[in-house]
Amino acid sequence: MKDAIKPFIVFLGLLILWHTLVIVFDMPDYILPGPGAVAQSMVENASLLWEHTLVTLSEMLMGLFLGVLMGIILALILVYFTALRPWLLPPLLITQAIPVFALAPILMLWFGYGMTSKVVMTILVIFFPVVTCCYDGLRHTHQGWLDMAQTMGGNRFAILRNIRWPAALPALASGLRVAVVVAPIGAVVGEWVGSSAGLGYLMLQANARLWVDQMFAALTVLAFCSVTLYYTTDRLLRRLIPWQPETSQE
């Protein structure tokens, strides 16, 4: 069976499980609407959902792009400017020690209710896995490769470009996979705290009006976006890093 079909089978299985739960426990619509009701809500509110999905997706993608870029730059600084390492690591850890939920109101205050605060929130959520994975990859380059490069008279930049960077890519790819999965957390939390658009905002509005089916519709779209983003990234990374060792194949 082709790997591409498997997620759809899982999705179908979850739908059946959901439907069964609703029937078996006789769930009222205001607690857990069935997949049919949610699908109907999705169709009825298609344009509304699309509009808000575009907002959340833009926040996620912008946050991902900037977060990954900044994460890579910081990892390079940590590897190449060892004197700065003790000064940079504590603030990096502090950004992770404080829950993003606690930071959200402050970010709203600083960056306003527009897209910026959600992008910053997304950056905060994905920054750490990207930095740590990239940093780990860069500092664990095979010593033999570095020795050989030194005897060949390679300069630091050439060694980074041709050896250290490609060697770090599999580790960075792991960080990216985590980043694309957690990116929606940053965007949606930001929207919950204060916004006028986005799937998080839509969920909050639907919740206040007890439109539970619309809430679940927004949630389903969000889950679909996350899963699609993950598989697209994974496929892209596999194609870009064909030498990445994979030893779990049967």
Partner 1 sequence: MFDVIIRDASLRFKNHCVFENLNLILKGGKWTCLLGGSGVGKTCLLRLIAGLPAGETTGEILCQDGFPVSHRIAWMAQQDLLLPWFSVLENITLGQRLRRSFTDIVKRHPLIPPEVEDQAMSILEKVGLTEKARVLPQHLSGGQRQRAALARTLMENRPLVLMDEPFGALDAITRLNLQDLACELLENRTVLLITHDPLEALRLGHDVYHLRGYPARLTDAITPPGKTPRSLEDNGIMMLQGKLLDRLRHESFDEKPVKGEQ
Q: Which residue ranges make up the site for partner 1 (CB under 8 A)? A: 142, 144-145, 147-155, 158-159, 162-163, 166, 169, 241-243
Closer by beta carbon to partner 1, 19 or else 142: 142
Closer by beta carbon to partner 1, 159 or else 182: 159
Closer by beta carbon to partner 1, 159 or else 181: 159
3-state SS, residue 81: coil
Asked if residue 190 lies in contact with residue 107, where contact means CB atoms within 8 angstroms, the answer is yes
In degrees and rounded to multiples of 5, residue 211 shows phi and psi of -90, 75
Instruction: Name the H helices within the chain.
Output: 6-24, 35-44, 46-80, 85-97, 100-111, 115-139, 143-151, 156-159, 165-193, 199-208, 212-240
- In the complex, minimum distance from the CB of residue 145 to partner 1, in angstroms, rounded to a whole number: 6
Of 75, 49, 193, whose CA–CA distance to 129 is shortest? 75
Of 154, 124, 123, whose CA–CA distance to 141 is shortest? 154
- In the complex, minimum distance from the CB of residue 162 to partner 1, in angstroms, rounded to a whole number: 5
Closer by beta carbon to partner 1, 155 or else 196: 155
Asked if residue 194 lies in contact with residue 18, where contact means CB atoms within 8 angstroms, the answer is no
Closer by beta carbon to partner 1, 86 or else 153: 153
99-114 burial code (b ≥16 CB/10 A, e <16): ebeebbeebbeebebe
- In the complex, minimum distance from the CB of residue 226 to partner 1, in angstroms, rounded to a whole number: 30
- In the complex, minimum distance from the CB of residue 179 to partner 1, in angstroms, rounded to a whole number: 22
- In the complex, minimum distance from the CB of residue 34 to partner 1, in angstroms, rounded to a whole number: 50
